[in-house]
Amino acid sequence: MAKRAQNESQIRKLTKLGKKSLCVTIPIEIIREFGWRERQKLVVKKFGKKIVIEDWPASTRRNISSNRGEKK
């Protein structure tokens, strides 16, 4: 696959995923910068006409793990 020009690398399209969902890909450089992994839980928030994607809070992960009897 050809490498996109820098100014085009941030342009993404919505893609249909199943019957009721759409997805958008995030550039791998951003994923690596945040240290995110495949199947990682993320929080999606809407602020006006913008979308913010954040890592799932660590405190929530610890609480769920302790409720399941897993090691912290």
Is residue 32 a contact partner of residue 20, using CB atoms and an 8 Å limit? no
Q: Is 3 helix (H, G, I), strand (E, B) or coil?
A: coil
Both tokens of 24, joined, read 């958008």
Q: Is position 28 within any domain?
A: yes
Please report, for the domain that includes residue 40, its CATH number.
Answer: 2.10.260
Number of domains in the chain: 1
The set of residues, in sequence order, having a beta carbon less than 8 Å from that of 57 and lying 6+ positions away, is 43
* Per-residue model confidence (pLDDT) at position 23: 94
What is the C-alpha separation between 61 and 68, in angstroms, rounded?
A: 11
Residue 2 lies in a domain: no
Residue 72 belongs to a domain: no
Instruction: Give, for all 72 residues of the chain, the pLDDT tens digit.
Output: 556 666 667 899 999 999 999 999 999 999 999 999 999 999 999 999 999 999 998 765 555 555 556 554
Domain with 34, as residue range(s), is 15-67
The token pair that represents 25 in the structure block: 């890909």
